[in-house]
Structure 1
Amino acid sequence: MTGQAVAEPLPTPPAPAVPDVSGMLPPPGGLLPGLQQFIDRIIPPPPITPVPEPISPTQQAATLSPSLAALRKATLPAPIGDPMFDAWPANLGELTEGQVIDYRDVSATTAPLMLMPIQRALLLKYRTADAHGAPSYATATLIVPTAAWPAPGPRPVVVNNLPIDALGRTCTPGYTLAHGANSDTSFTDFVPPTTHAAALRGYAVLIPDHEGPSMAYAEPVVAGHAVLDAIRAVRGLLPGEFGASRFGMAGYSGGAIATHGAVKLISSYAPELAEVIVGAALGGVPADYEILARSMNGNLASAVFMGAVFGIGRERPEILARMNNLAQWAATSRLKDLCGSSFGAVGVLMLPIDIAANIPDPLHSDLATDIYRVTRMADMKSATPLYIYNGEQEFWIPAEGARNLYREQCRLGVSAVYRSVLGEHIIAAALGYPEAMLWLDDRLRGVPAPSEC
C-alpha cells in the first residue's frame, strides 16, 4: 500500500431544488372537474318543456322535482307509432303483474325470420312493474313451432333473454318480429341461434323485450320483472297449453343482465314460478357494475358504458340529476333512440364518463356506490339452478364478476355450475354456448340439476 494515493470520497452533490407545483396539481377526483365547470359555463341547459302532470304510473310513483321530472320525460324514448309498444293503458294500476293487456298474431312477419315452419307467433303486451315497483308494461313474443312436442307432458318453453343493448324501442326483438327485419335489427337477435335451435328441438320460445317502455338498458330490476311477468303472461293467456310447462332461461351479456335480475327476483316477486322455472344459463355476466366502471370507462367500451348509465338513469333519475348541460343535450336529442350498434361506435373517442357529469369523480361518488349496491342485488338467492360461464380473458366484462356471483349463490345454497371459458367476450360466447345449451336442455327435459359448489 506504500506509495499509492488513497482516493478521497467524492462529495455528495446538493439535492436539486423541488419546484412548487401545488398550483398545477389536479383537483381531488381527477383532471376533469375544471372541464366539467367549463362545459356548463359555455353550454346552456337544453330547453325542456315543464311537465304539467304525470305522464305515466312510473312518474306518479316517483318523487321528483318539477325540473327533474321534465328532464326525465325529455330523455324517454320517442314513440314509434305502434300502440303495442307506445301506449300506456289507462287502467294499468288495476291489473295484476303478468296480466295480458293485449296480444297480436305476428306469425306473418316472424315466420320468414325463423327460416322454418311455425305454428304461430304472438306478440304479448302485459302488466309488469318498474324498478321501484310501480305499474308498468312490457312486451314479449311467444313462438310455437309446428312440430308437436315429442316427449311426454306439455311443451317446455325456452325464455331467450336477448342482449337488447339499446335505447330506442325499434331496437327490440319484439319490434323486429312484429314488423320484419329493418336497419335497427340486431345481429345478436339471431346469433347465437338460440331461438332457432330451441324451436328445432320442439320447444316454444319466449323472447321478452326486457327493457320495458322506458328502454331502461342495463337496469336489472326492470328486466327481471319483465322476464318473470312474460312467463306469467304466457301461462295466464294459454293455461291449457303452457300452464304446466317447464320454463328455462338463457342469456348472454346484456341478456345475462335480465337473467341475473330475474332469477334473484323469483322468490320475492313471483314465488309461484319457483317450481316452474327449472334452470337458467347465463354467460358474459355483467353482475357487478363497480367492476365494469373500472373495465369499461374511458376506452373503446366507454360509449356502451355511458349508454348503460343513461338507461339506468331513466328508471333512477338521481343519475340524470348529475348530468351536466352537455350530457342533457345529448340525452334529450335523437341519441336517446339509438341502438347499441350505433352508439357503441362512439367508443372510438374513448371518452370517460366524467365528461358527462356535473360532479367530480362520479364513479366513486356516493350516488355511484348506491347504484352499484342496488344493481348488484347482493345476497338475493336464485330460486332456480344456475349455469354460469365467462371468458377468462375478458377485459370489458371481467370474469371476476361471474365468479363472485357463482360463489355467492353457492354460499346461499343454490345448485350451480361455473365454467371458465377461453377467450374474451366474443370468443367466449361461441366456446361457452354449446355446453350451456346442453345443460339447459337437460333441465327442460326433467333431469335434476347437478351442483359443483
Structure 2
Amino acid sequence: MSENVDVASGWTAEETIPRPSSRWHRPQLPVDDPFYRPPAGFETLPAGTLLRSREVEIALLGLIPQKVHAWQLLYCTADLNGTPEASVTTVLLPADADAATARQRPLLAYQCAIDAISSRSFPSYALQRGSTSLGNVAPFELLIIANAVSRGWAVTIADHEGLGGYFGAPREPGYRVLDGIRASTDFAPLNLSRSTPVGVWGYSGGGMASSWVAEMAPEYAPEINIVGAVLGAPVGDPGQTYIRLNDTFFAGLPALVVAGLRHLYPGLGRVIESHVNDEGRARLDEIESMSTAWAIARFAGDDFDNYTDIPLADVLASPAVLELFDDIRLGSRRPACPLLVLQPVHDQIIDVEDVDGQVDRYNEFGANVTYVRDRISEHLSLMVLSTPTVLEWLTARFDGAPEPTGSTRTVWSTALSPTSLRGFLGMGKTALATLIGGTL
C-alpha cells in the first residue's frame, strides 16, 4: 500500500490515479491503526483539510476483492462540541475512471448504517479486503454502493460516528461527512472541485447521519454544492425510538445508543451512575465491543427497567434525559437542498410516526421534501427495494433537472414503478459483478 502525507495541501496536481497495489495485508482496527492518528498541530488547520491519504483494497464481506480505485483520507473535522478532531473517509472511483470525464463526475456522500460502537463496524475497516466485520451492516452495503460507482460517480464513505463510535450523537455526523466531502473534493486523484455536484444518501442509521448532513450543511459548509439528499428510514426521534424498542426483540439498538452517548453527555452519565445498578452498567460496557447483530441477539427482550433503582419512566423523565432527547431529535434546522425521504409504514424498528414528525418539522421550516411512505416493505427490505428510485432521483439532481415539488404520498411499494422494475435489472448486473469481483 502507498501512503502520502501533506498536511498543507494534500496531493499535488501532477499526481496520477494509481492502480491498487498487489501487495496486501490484513487491515488493523481503526483504534489500533496509526493512520487514524493526526499529526501534531492539526488542530490549527481549517476543517476539511486533508492530512493523509493511502490506497486501500475494497472487498465484499472482506473476501471478494473489487476492481475499483479506493483510498482512505484522514482530514480535520470537529466533534459534537466543535472541538477539533481527525476522521477518515473512504473514497471510491470506477475502475475505468479517466481525467477526460472527471469534470462531469458527481460526488455521492454515502452514509453506512454503522449502528455500533466498536471500530470493527466502521466502513473504513469493514469495506477493506481482509477485514472481519461479521454482524455489522456496512460490509453488505457495498452491494448498494456499487450501483453508484457503476454509474461513474465518485463516492465518499465517512466514518461518521468518529473514532469513539458514538452511535446516535447529534450534529457531529454532519460535521464529519461535510468535512469528508471537503477533503474528497481537494483530493487530486478524484479530479473534483468545490463546485462538484454532491448527493447525500443513507438508510436507517445512515439515514439519521444523512439527516444531520442536510441539517448542518447550510450553517457549517454552505460552499458545498449539495444538490439533493436521500434519507431512508431516518429515525426521526431517537428518544422515542429508545422508549418503543426497550423490552422488544430490538432492545440492543437503544442500548448501543445509551452506551455511546453516556460518554458525550455528562448529565446522562450521572443519571446512569446514580440509578443504574452494577449489572446494567456492565451490560453497557459489554455492548460497546459488539457488532450490531450480536448486540440485537444478546439483548433481545431486555428491559432496562430491570437495572434501575427507580422506575425507568422516572429515569426518562429526569431533566438530563429530557434535554438529551431534545438534543438528538431530528428536524430542528432547515435543509437547503431538496430531500427525498423514504419510510416503511410497517417498520418494525423505526415508527413511521417519528419520521412523519421529522418531515413535518422540515415542512414547517419551508424545506423541499418529497416524502414517500411504503405500505408493503418493512425496515430491511425497503433499503433494497427503494434503490432504483433513489438512483434515478439522484441522477436527476446531478443532471440539473428542475427540483421536484415537495409532496407526501403513501404507495403500495416503491418497487412497482416501471423505473424501478428497469432499475432492478441494472442492480442485478451490478450485484453479480460485485459477487464475482468484477469491474465496477
Alpha-carbon shift at residue 449 of structure 1 (Å): 2.1
User: Given residue 289 of structure 1, which amino acid in structure 2 is its aligned partner?
Assistant: P
1:330-352: CA deviations, max 9, x gaps?
Answer: 4445x42222121111232x122
Residue 342 of structure 1 is matched in structure 2 by 294
Alpha-carbon shift at residue 295 of structure 1 (Å): 1.8
For 2:228 and 2:370, locate their aligned partners in 1 and report how far apart those are by CA, in whole Å: 11
Q: Indicate the RMSD between aligned Cα atoms, in angstroms.
A: 2.6
Flag the 1:217–1:187 CA change in 2: closer, same or farther, 3 A.
Answer: closer
Residue 326 of structure 1 is matched in structure 2 by 279
**Contact 1:299/1:347, CA 8 A, preserved across alignment:** no
Do structure 1's residue 253 and structure 2's residue 204 form an aligned pair? yes
**Which of 381, 384, 388 is the equivalent residue of 1:430?**
384
Alpha-carbon shift at residue 376 of structure 1 (Å): 1.4
Secondary structure in 1 matching 2:208:
helix
For 1:451 and 1:239, locate their aligned partners in 2 and report how far apart those are by CA, in whole Å: 36
**Which of 176, 200, 223 is the equivalent residue of 2:126?**
176
User: Given residue 438 of structure 1, which amino acid in structure 2 is its aligned partner?
Assistant: E
Residue 360 of structure 2 is matched in structure 1 by 407
Alpha-carbon shift at residue 428 of structure 1 (Å): 2.8
**Contact 1:148/1:202, CA 8 A, preserved across alignment:** yes
Query: Aligned runs of 1:361-376 on 2, under 5 Å?
Result: 361=313, 362-376=315-329
User: Given residue 214 of structure 1, which amino acid in structure 2 is its aligned partner?
Assistant: G
Secondary structure in 2 matching 1:278:
strand
For 2:283 and 2:89, locate their aligned partners in 1 and report how far apart those are by CA, in whole Å: 29
Flag the 1:451–1:204 CA change in 2: closer, same or farther, 3 A.
Answer: same
**Which of 187, 194, 201 is the equivalent residue of 2:144?**
194
For 1:373 and 1:144, locate their aligned partners in 2 and report how far apart those are by CA, in whole Å: 39
User: Given residue 268 of structure 2, which amino acid in structure 1 is its aligned partner?
Assistant: I
Do structure 1's residue 269 and structure 2's residue 220 form an aligned pair? yes
For 1:431 and 1:410, locate their aligned partners in 2 and report how far apart those are by CA, in whole Å: 26
For 1:292 and 1:111, locate their aligned partners in 2 and report how far apart those are by CA, in whole Å: 29
**Contact 1:214/1:315, CA 8 A, preserved across alignment:** no
**Contact 2:48/2:76, CA 8 A, preserved across alignment:** yes
**Contact 1:98/1:126, CA 8 A, preserved across alignment:** yes
Flag the 1:112–1:184 CA change in 2: closer, same or farther, 3 A.
Answer: closer
Secondary structure in 2 matching 1:101:
strand
Flag the 1:79–1:386 CA change in 2: closer, same or farther, 3 A.
Answer: closer
**Contact 2:51/2:76, CA 8 A, preserved across alignment:** yes
Do structure 1's residue 84 and structure 2's residue 35 form an aligned pair? yes
Flag the 1:346–1:107 CA change in 2: closer, same or farther, 3 A.
Answer: closer
For 1:389 and 1:108, locate their aligned partners in 2 and report how far apart those are by CA, in whole Å: 29
Flag the 1:196–1:240 CA change in 2: closer, same or farther, 3 A.
Answer: closer
Alpha-carbon shift at residue 109 of structure 1 (Å): 6.0
Flag the 1:297–1:110 CA change in 2: closer, same or farther, 3 A.
Answer: closer
For 1:105 and 1:112, locate their aligned partners in 2 and report how far apart those are by CA, in whole Å: 16
1:11-67: CA deviations, max 9, x gaps?
Answer: xxxxxxxxxxxxxxxxxxxxxxxxxxxxxxxxxxxxxxxxxxxxxxxxxxxxxxxxx
For 1:237 and 1:111, locate their aligned partners in 2 and report how far apart those are by CA, in whole Å: 27
Residue 75 of structure 1 is matched in structure 2 by none
User: Given residue 394 of structure 2, which amino acid in structure 1 is its aligned partner?
Assistant: L
For 1:306 and 1:272, locate their aligned partners in 2 and report how far apart those are by CA, in whole Å: 37
User: Given residue 264 of structure 1, which amino acid in structure 2 is its aligned partner?
Assistant: E
Flag the 1:123–1:371 CA change in 2: closer, same or farther, 3 A.
Answer: same
Flag the 1:438–1:314 CA change in 2: closer, same or farther, 3 A.
Answer: farther
TM-score (norm 1): 0.75
Unaligned 5+ runs, structure 1: 1-77
Residue 94 of structure 2 is matched in structure 1 by 145
Flag the 1:185–1:94 CA change in 2: closer, same or farther, 3 A.
Answer: farther
Alpha-carbon shift at residue 132 of structure 1 (Å): 1.0
Unaligned 5+ runs, structure 2: 1-28, 408-440
**Contact 1:158/1:204, CA 8 A, preserved across alignment:** yes
Do structure 1's residue 213 and structure 2's residue 213 form an aligned pair? no
Alpha-carbon shift at residue 302 of structure 1 (Å): 0.9
**Contact 2:227/2:337, CA 8 A, preserved across alignment:** yes
1:378-435: CA deviations, max 9, x gaps?
Answer: 4300021100010001232011122222222222222210101123212333333321
**Which of 67, 71, 80 is the equivalent residue of 1:117?**
67
Do structure 1's residue 397 and structure 2's residue 350 form an aligned pair? yes
For 1:255 and 1:218, locate their aligned partners in 2 and report how far apart those are by CA, in whole Å: 10
Secondary structure in 1 matching 2:296:
helix
1:143-177: CA deviations, max 9, x gaps?
Answer: 11123479794311111101001111121110123
Residue 21 of structure 1 is matched in structure 2 by none
**Contact 2:198/2:398, CA 8 A, preserved across alignment:** yes
Do structure 1's residue 227 and structure 2's residue 177 form an aligned pair? yes
Q: State the structure with more CA Rg.
A: 1
For 2:119 and 2:176, locate their aligned partners in 1 and report how far apart those are by CA, in whole Å: 15
Residue 54 of structure 1 is matched in structure 2 by none
Range 261-270 or range 174-183, more displaced: 174-183
**Contact 1:110/1:180, CA 8 A, preserved across alignment:** no
**Contact 2:61/2:126, CA 8 A, preserved across alignment:** no
**Contact 1:142/1:204, CA 8 A, preserved across alignment:** yes
For 1:413 and 1:310, locate their aligned partners in 2 and report how far apart those are by CA, in whole Å: 35
Secondary structure in 1 matching 2:223:
helix
Q: Tell me the percent identity.
A: 26
Flag the 1:152–1:161 CA change in 2: closer, same or farther, 3 A.
Answer: closer
For 2:43 and 2:71, locate their aligned partners in 1 and report how far apart those are by CA, in whole Å: 24
For 2:189 and 2:70, locate their aligned partners in 1 and report how far apart those are by CA, in whole Å: 16
User: Given residue 413 of structure 1, which amino acid in structure 2 is its aligned partner?
Assistant: G
Secondary structure in 1 matching 2:114:
coil
1:225-271: CA deviations, max 9, x gaps?
Answer: 11111101112233981113211011110101110111100111112
For 1:357 and 1:145, locate their aligned partners in 2 and report how far apart those are by CA, in whole Å: 52
